[in-house]
A = this chain, B = another copy of it.
């Protein structure tokens, strides 16, 4: 399993952080965050509780880190996909495509993010948890801003009808992330099918005239 999606610039080659995060993604994905025992994560990585606590002070701290890195990856992928798009409509389709161009691990990470997004609403009493929560909220706002700017570009260029870009960005994010509530890797549709279907939905929602 690739762990690039769970690695940060300050993780040295001997850091166990990415491996712990990968194990947590597996555990949270299989039995849910609530249903996962924190000690089960240590067991899966093959480290002791002491080493585990060296990196993460709690299960919530670990979850919030998984969520922050998932949001960071979405932000990076959005910019990579849309940078060279010749039109706003092409950028919209590319951004939707990027939202589903994911490894199985990244899919789990997104499912965990969506299932636990409510955790970002209330302040944490632990300082390290609160740092991750605030960074995650900042990234949620940044991801929304990416979509708003794409929509504003299309409206300015006359490609898209002039509909409120903030509400449209939130609507698109609701549409796209809603997939993680029902998508299963062994389901009838693969991610390519879903990406094509959702790109059509998004394009009609944003650019079509009223039927």
Contact = CB atoms under 8 A, between A and B. Distances in A.
Interface of A: 31-35, 89, 115-119, 121-122, 163-164, 167-168, 170-171, 173-179, 181-182, 189, 194, 197-198, 200-201, 203-205, 207-211
A118 B208 contact: no
A210 B201 contact: no
Contact of A189 (B121, B167, B178, B197): B167
Contacts of A35: 122
Nearest to A89: B211
Dominant SS at the A interface? Answer: helix
A74 to B, nearest CB: 16
B211 A167 contact: no
Sorted nearest first, the 3 A-B pairs with minimum C-beta distance are A174-B178, A208-B208, A207-B211
A181 B194 CA distance: 23
- Of the candidates A89, A119, A175, the one having the most CB atoms from chain B within 10 angstroms of its own CB is A175
A122 B33 CA distance: 11
Contact of A210 (B118, B194, B204): B204
Nearest to A118: B115
Contacts of A31: 122
23 contacts: A34-B119, A34-B122, A89-B211, A115-B118, A116-B118, A117-B181, A163-B200, A167-B197, A171-B178, A171-B197, A171-B201, A173-B178, A174-B174, A174-B175, A174-B177, A175-B178, A177-B178, A178-B178, A201-B205, A204-B208, A204-B209, A204-B211, A205-B205
A43 to B, nearest CB: 20
A115 B116 CA distance: 8
A99 B201 CA distance: 20
